[in-house]
Structure 1
Amino acid sequence: MPAPVDHAAKRKAIARISAELIAERGLQAATIRQVAARAGFSTTVVTHYFANKRALLLAAYRYVAERTQQRFDAMAADDESEPLSRLEILLPLDAEGRNAWRLYFQFWPMADHDEELAEEQRWWSDNARSLARAMLELARPDLVDIDRKATLALSALHGIAMQALFDPDNWPASRQQEVWRTQAQLLSANAMA
């Protein structure tokens, strides 16, 4: 009798491998053939789980977004950390964070022409804004205009990530954290215009 197959784990592994290929070499690298080769599977195995390349790409995007959420949740579980510093995990401070942002940037142009992917990205952006809102509220329960400041926080994180990804020599982790902490101070002030 053959050993049982954990289909969810295999599907997740294929999505992870697809995400790695995208982060390394762009969307064009995540072909069903390339993913199968890296995974050590036949293309038939990959197409069993993903009907086409688009489904595979969407799974890769979701895998990275969910992994980023898990990293945030682990950071947020530390009750000792300053709430706004917890949002730093959303920056490309380490290899996993840089790969996540590489993948996100690859998908942004696709979302301009693909309503399902655009909806997926809107959902994750709203989720990140909610995380920022929750951390702002935790840091300063009396904070005014919190929704606007959560949007500004998300914009600041995106801007820092973009600079860090495209100019890594000038944006090491220490500079990203310094700039974010300055932004966080401004955002948590009730005197902000």
Structure 2
Amino acid sequence: MPIQVNHDERRKLVGEVVARIIASKGLEAVTVREVAKASGFSTRVVSHYFSGKREVLLLCYRQTAIRAQQRLNSAVAAAPGDVAAGIDALLPYHAQAREDWLVWVSFWGMAIGDPEFSAVQRLQVRASQEYLQALLTTAMLPLPTHGFDPVYAARNLMASLSGMVVQAAFDPEQWPSERQQAYLRSAIKSAIESAEKP
């Protein structure tokens, strides 16, 4: 009887392996041979699922974004209306979140010159802004808003957090969890205040 192979699971596993390689060794370390070695598959199996390195990288990029979104959804479900809790899952003091950020930053250079990677990056940024906007809007509902602009607040918050998480991903010793969480709370407060009209 032939062995049943779950092709989607194999592709997913390869994407996860590629993320680990990128986070520890960089984009240039991703080769079919390296991916096969790290995943336990033969180079023939990896080549069967992917036409080349670019396709493997694109899958990894998309998978990383999906994984982060799932963490965020779980965080919001656990603490609805809590902006800090809804963002905390993305901070790079969580091992998986740190790997994700190292992967995303590695891909920024590719996104500049590659229309497909650029489109994925643009969608990811917009989805993140919409997520923050929804969190901030929900958090402000019971309060007098004074003309609160959630779009403006979300953009400010994202810009502020992006700088912090990149620093924290590459220099975790300078950015322990307590410092990241304190910065997050301060950034949320500043974003809300900047978006309130007098």
| Shorter-chain TM-score range | over 0.9
1:28 is matched by which residue type in structure 2? E
User: Residue 21 of structure 1 corresponds to which residue in structure 2?
Assistant: 21
Distance 1:79 1:20 in 2: 29
Q: Measure how far apart 1:19 and its partner are.
A: 0.8
Distance 1:32 1:183 in 2: 42
Question: Which TM-score applies when normalising by structure 2?
Answer: 0.92
User: Residue 174 of structure 1 corresponds to which residue in structure 2?
Assistant: 178
Q: Measure how far apart 1:158 and its partner are.
A: 0.6
Distance 2:125 2:196 in 1: 26
- CA pair 192-177 structure 1, distance change in 2 beyond 3 A: farther
Gaps of 5+ in 1: none
Distance 1:165 1:106 in 2: 12
Instruction: Describe the SS at the equivalent of 2:2.
Output: coil
Range moving further from structure 2, 158-167 or 74-83? 74-83
Distance 2:197 2:37 in 1: 53
Give CA deviations for 1:141-172 in whole Å, capped at 9, x if unaligned.
33622111111111122111012123222111
Task: State the number of aligned residues.
Answer: 193
Give CA deviations for 1:87-121 in whole Å, capped at 9, x if unaligned.
12122121111111111111001111101000000
User: Residue 121 of structure 2 corresponds to which residue in structure 1?
Assistant: 121
1:148 aligned to 2:152?
yes
Give CA deviations for 1:122-145 in whole Å, capped at 9, x if unaligned.
001111111100100010033622
Gaps of 5+ in 2: none
Range moving further from structure 2, 181-190 or 108-117? 181-190
Contact (CA 8 Å) 2:81, 2:139: kept in 1 or not? Answer: no
Identity of aligned residues (%): 36
| Pairs within 5 Å for 1:67-78 | 67-78=67-78
Distance 1:187 1:41 in 2: 47
Q: Measure how far apart 1:191 and its partner are.
A: 3.9
User: Residue 189 of structure 2 corresponds to which residue in structure 1?
Assistant: 185
User: Residue 4 of structure 1 corresponds to which residue in structure 2?
Assistant: 4
Question: Which TM-score applies when normalising by structure 1?
Answer: 0.94
Q: Measure how far apart 1:84 and its partner are.
A: 3.6
